[in-house]
């Protein structure tokens, strides 16, 4: 009887053999008994013999044709090996949920070809033309490009033209974008230009839509697949090019279960498919800059804004002498100037809720989460204190739990309080607040964006959801509040991220003709980073950071992995990692450094204590060999069943 090898989504580094009445296509789904349950698995191979006796039988073969074709399976094998993650979990995570649940692989609603497309009424610039030609020159083999273009320089126009060219040759194009906030505008730009089916893959879709999009990518009907990070796994038989927009963005890294970087994996996928890879951004990550310096990426530059737009003027407001609350007088005056000229103004503050601190003015008490090392954030519209880490919430106390006085107050600002304060300063002006609280409803975000795109004067208040990709044509001024936390962070990447964020947020201003203005409020106006941000010299700033990283032998000049353990019992989490450290040190590999265990920067989250063990080496192969050895021996660690643990290869925070 034939035997099939099946990948099942369990946290074990192995596959499972089953008997089958007939051979099964590799990459097809089967329903198999597993313990007391029936589960869906993917067939990885057919064989005649198994090293196990008494095999159970396949219950049902769900597909005649493979769901995962050979190129995707090869790609997933590579990813599972690199991230040292169980193959079954990787393979099943790559499919939409309905396929994991065993639903039929059939398209419900076929989207048609566009009825009408329109072409732009401008000529491309010389810089754009050079970039397009450089990419098209190499379109028939693997080649990596960094498209480094300042915000508003017309990178998307470059994507559209190279995509059209690849479509003309019958190819499919995969475009990855950071987050849902960015997608509606991107989708419509691609849809209105290209005479092909553009399918989107992102979290706002329902499961039926996700399956349809996946299957249209797989059968080649979709010329363009535009998606967030998981779209890197979309099967595309005629894949001819991969574009990663805003490659520096942290959301390309999955931060739970299978912790992969879609940006990093795109190199492997492009190389396996032997096609070009384009990483676009105004603020390249240090990893990408190093790759371009090492010749792994060809750098293409768009140094100027497209059309008649110029870069915004950026200035600082020193908040050390400000006693007016969140908004300095100077900022309010500037806002007034633009609003009176019927322009839009945007304020960016990276905290939602009303106020981040609820405290006693008499003693030092402040409200903290019972389950986490973090303060409770006050939300006024529901009159509740909420923990943004575990989601716990409660009614605010009326009297101080420590001293009994009725002296409790809020301190600091979030988007909700900023909105309230602004409405007292500008009672006539509509205020549009965009954060996770105001966009939870489906469609809410697109309704807000529609209002902004109508161009009527308004004040936009938002969190980092607003930082990326949006192109608001009547937005003349951007105010950035409360970024100083970035200077105090212990993450060694914090200043890199802060510079990227400031430039991205600033890039929203003045896209259309008139020069825009950006104002940053800070208590650290002398920080050297501002010299570069104010004069738009990101590359020089990043080069300086790269030098520091090189002399400190930090990423991207060294490779890291993080082992995180967490448990309700603090000692268990720490001792588990001590034992792991002992095991790792017994592996003779002196090119790998081991640091820790140390408590996580937020030690307790939702009643679990988090500890970290860092591995670092400038020899990637050595690091990975150590991780593989660890994986083989992890079962020998005594506390293994008392903790939850995960491995994060190339961690970013």
Residue 400 binds which entry of Zn ion, ligand ADP, none, CB below 5-8 Å type-dependent: Zn ion
> Is residue 262 within the footprint of Zn ion (CB under 5 A)?
no
DSSP state of 101: T
What stretches of 447-524 adopt beta strand conformation (E)?
459-462, 475-481, 517-522
Strands, sheet with 377-379, edge to edge from the N-terminal-most edge strand: 377-379, 384-386, 393-394
The SS3 call for residue 98 is helix
User: For Zn ion, which stretch binds (CB under 5 A), given 371-379, 458-466, 525-533, 541-549?
Assistant: 371-379
Residue 372 binds which entry of ligand ADP, Zn ion, none, CB below 5-8 Å type-dependent: Zn ion
CB of 435 to ligand ADP, least distance (A): 23
Decide whether 38 or 394 has the Cβ nearer to Zn ion.
394
**What's the CA gap between 247 and 147, in Å, rounded?**
10
Residue 360 binds which entry of Zn ion, ligand ADP, none, CB below 5-8 Å type-dependent: Zn ion
Decide whether 282 or 400 has the Cβ nearer to ligand ADP.
282
Decide whether 127 or 437 has the Cβ nearer to ligand ADP.
127
Q: Is 168 left (phi over 0), alpha (psi -120 to 50) or beta?
A: alpha
CB of 156 to ligand ADP, least distance (A): 3
CB of 106 to Zn ion, least distance (A): 43
147: number of Cβ within 10 Å:
30
> Is residue 303 within the footprint of ligand ADP (CB under 6 A)?
no
CA dihedral 204, 205, 206, 210 (to 10 degrees): -140
> Is residue 98 within the footprint of ligand ADP (CB under 6 A)?
no
Residue 128 binds which entry of ligand ADP, Zn ion, none, CB below 5-8 Å type-dependent: ligand ADP
CB of 295 to ligand ADP, least distance (A): 24
What is the x/- site pattern for ligand ADP, positions 464-503, by CB under 6 A?
Answer: -------x--------------------------------
DSSP state of 109: S
> Is residue 111 within the footprint of Zn ion (CB under 5 A)?
no
> Between residue 346 and residue 375, which ones bind ligand ADP under the rule CB under 6 A?
none
Decide whether 153 or 500 has the Cβ nearer to ligand ADP.
153
> Between residue 122 and residue 161, which ones bind ligand ADP under the rule CB under 6 A?
122, 124-125, 128, 149, 151-157
CB of 279 to ligand ADP, least distance (A): 13
* Dihedral over Cα of 495, 498, 504, 507: its sign: negative
CB-based burial of residue 159 (10 Å sphere; 0-12 exposed, 13-18 middle, 19+ buried)?
buried
Total of chain residues touching ligand ADP, rule CB under 6 A? 15
Instruction: Tell me which of 99, 244, 369, 615 binds Zn ion, using CB under 5 A.
Output: 369
381: number of Cβ within 10 Å:
11
* Dihedral over Cα of 31, 37, 41, 43: its sign: negative
Residue 149 binds which entry of Zn ion, ligand ADP, none, CB below 5-8 Å type-dependent: ligand ADP
> Is residue 595 within the footprint of ligand ADP (CB under 6 A)?
no
Instruction: Tell me which of 10, 26, 363, 558 binds Zn ion, using CB under 5 A.
Output: 363
616: number of Cβ within 10 Å:
18
CB of 372 to Zn ion, least distance (A): 3
What stretches of 53-154 adopt beta strand conformation (E)?
60-61, 143-149
> Between residue 399 and residue 418, which ones bind Zn ion under the rule CB under 5 A?
400, 402-403
What is the x/- site pattern for Zn ion, positions 331-360, by CB under 5 A?
Answer: -----------------------------x
CB of 361 to Zn ion, least distance (A): 8
Which residues, at least 6 apart from 427, have a Cβ–Cβ distance to it below 8 Å? none
> Between residue 383 and residue 402, which ones bind Zn ion under the rule CB under 5 A?
387, 389-390, 392, 400, 402
Decide whether 23 or 644 has the Cβ nearer to Zn ion.
644
Q: How far is CA 11 from CA 257, 582, 591, 629, in A?
A: 10, 23, 29, 17
Pairing of strands 29-34, 37-47: antiparallel
Decide whether 122 or 411 has the Cβ nearer to ligand ADP.
122
Return the H-helix or E-strand segment holding 163. helix 155-168
Pairing of strands 475-481, 517-522: parallel
What is the b/e burial string over 62-94, where b = at least 16 CB atoms within 10 angstroms of the residue's CB? Answer: bbeebbbbeebbebbebbbebbbbbbbbbbbbb
Decide whether 311 or 519 has the Cβ nearer to ligand ADP.
311
Pairing of strands 298-302, 222-227: unpaired
CB of 307 to ligand ADP, least distance (A): 3
**What's the CA gap between 359 and 174, in Å, rounded?**
50
CB of 288 to ligand ADP, least distance (A): 16
- Cβ atoms of 332 and 372 closer than 8 Å: no
Decide whether 158 or 573 has the Cβ nearer to ligand ADP.
158
Rounded to the nearest angstrom, the gap between the alpha carbon of residue 176 and the centroid of all alpha carbons in its chain is: 10
Half-sphere exposure of 450 (CA within 13 A, CB side): 5
CB of 304 to ligand ADP, least distance (A): 10
Decide whether 103 or 389 has the Cβ nearer to Zn ion.
389
Decide whether 21 or 402 has the Cβ nearer to Zn ion.
402
> Is residue 307 within the footprint of ligand ADP (CB under 6 A)?
yes
**What's the CA gap between 391 and 376, in Å, rounded?**
10
**What's the CA gap between 112 and 387, in Å, rounded?**
45
Instruction: Tell me which of 99, 217, 306, 326 binds ligand ADP, using CB under 6 A.
Output: 306
Strands, sheet with 172-176, edge to edge from the N-terminal-most edge strand: 197-201, 222-227, 172-176, 239-245, 276-281, 143-149, 298-302
User: For ligand ADP, which stretch binds (CB under 6 A), given 121-129, 214-222, 492-500, 534-542?
Assistant: 121-129
CB of 211 to ligand ADP, least distance (A): 30
CB of 513 to ligand ADP, least distance (A): 11
Residues that bind ligand ADP in the complex, under the rule CB under 6 A:
122, 124-125, 128, 149, 151-157, 306-307, 471
Q: Which residues bind Zn ion (CB under 5 A)?
A: 360, 362-363, 365, 369, 371-372, 387, 389-390, 392, 400, 402-403
């Amino acid at each position: 009887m034939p035997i099939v090898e099946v990948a099942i989504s369990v946290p074990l580094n192995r596959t499972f053999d089953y008997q089958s009445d007939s051979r099964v296509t590799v990459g097809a789904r089967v329903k198999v008994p597993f313990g007391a349950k029936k589960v869906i698995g993917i067939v990885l191979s057919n064989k005649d013999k198994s090293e196990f006796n008494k095999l159970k039988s396949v219950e049902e073969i769900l597909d005649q044709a493979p769901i995962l074709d050979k190129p995707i399976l090869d790609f997933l094998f590579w990813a599972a090996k690199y991230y040292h993650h169980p193959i079954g979990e990787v393979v099943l995570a790559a499919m939409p949920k309905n396929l994991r649940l065993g639903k039929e692989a059939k398209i419900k609603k076929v989207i048609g070809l566009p009825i009408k497309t329109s072409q732009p009424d401008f000529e491309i610039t010389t810089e754009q033309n050079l970039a397009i030609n450089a990419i098209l020159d190499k379109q028939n083999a693997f080649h990596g490009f960094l498209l480094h273009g300042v915000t508003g320089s017309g990178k998307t126009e470059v994507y559209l033209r190279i995509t059209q060219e690849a479509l003309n040759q019958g190819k499919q194009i995969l475009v990855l974008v950071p987050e849902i906030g960015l997608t509606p505008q991107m989708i419509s730009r691609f849809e209105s230009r290209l005479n092909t089916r553009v399918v989107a893959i992102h979290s706002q879709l329902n499961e039926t839509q996700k399956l349809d999009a996946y299957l249209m990518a797989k059968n080649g009907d979709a010329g363009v697949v535009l998606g967030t990070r998981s779209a890197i796994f979309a099967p595309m038989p005629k894949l001819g090019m991969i574009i990663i927009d805003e490659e520096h963005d942290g959301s390309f890294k999955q931060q739970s279960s299978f912790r992969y970087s879609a940006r990093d994996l795109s190199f492997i996928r492009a190389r396996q498919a032997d096609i070009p890879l384009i990483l676009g951004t105004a603020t390249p990550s240090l990893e990408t800059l190093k790759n371009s310096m090492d010749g792994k990426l060809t750098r293409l530059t768009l140094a100027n804004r497209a059309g008649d737009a110029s870069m915004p003027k950026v200035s600082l407001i020193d908040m050390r002498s400000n006693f007016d609350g969140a908004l300095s007088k100077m900022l309010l005056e500037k806002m007034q100037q633009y609003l009176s000229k019927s322009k839009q103004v945007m304020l960016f503050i990276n905290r939602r809720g009303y106020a981040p601190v609820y405290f006693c003015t008499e003693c030092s008490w402040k409200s903290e989460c019972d389950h986490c090392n973090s303060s409770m954030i006050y939300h006024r519209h529901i009159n509740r204190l909420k923990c943004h880490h575990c989601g716990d919430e409660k009614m605010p106390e009326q009297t101080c739990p420590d001293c009994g006085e009725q002296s409790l107050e809020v301190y600091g600002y979030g988007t909700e309080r900023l909105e309230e304060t602004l409405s007292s300063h500008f009672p006539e002006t509509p205020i549009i607040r965009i954060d996770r609280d105001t966009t939870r409803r489906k469609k809410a975000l697109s309704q807000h964006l529609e209002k902004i795109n109508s161009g009527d004067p308004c004040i936009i208040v938002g969190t980092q959801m607003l930082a990326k990709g949006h192109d608001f044509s009547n937005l003349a001024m951007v105010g950035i509040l409360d970024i100083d936390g970035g200077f105090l962070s212990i993450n060694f990447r914090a200043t890199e991220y802060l510079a990227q964020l400031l430039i991205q947020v600033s890039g929203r201003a003045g896209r259309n003709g008139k020069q825009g203005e950006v104002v940053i409020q800070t208590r650290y106006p002398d920080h050297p980073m501002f010299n570069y941000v104010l004069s738009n010299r990101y590359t020089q700033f990043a080069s300086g950071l790269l030098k520091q990283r090189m002399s400190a032998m930090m990423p991207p000049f060294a490779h890291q992995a993080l082992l995180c353990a967490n448990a309700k019992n603090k000692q268990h989490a720490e001792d588990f990692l001590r034992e792991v450290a002992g095991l790792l040190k017994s592996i003779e590999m002196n090119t790998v450094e081991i640091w820790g265990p140390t408590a996580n920067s937020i030690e307790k989250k939702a009643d679990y204590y988090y500890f970290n063990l860092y591995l670092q080496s400038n020899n990637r192969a050595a690091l990975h060999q150590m991780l593989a050895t660890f994986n083989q021996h992890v079962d020998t660690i005594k506390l293994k069943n008392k903790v939850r643990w995960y491995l994060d290869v190339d961690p970013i925070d």
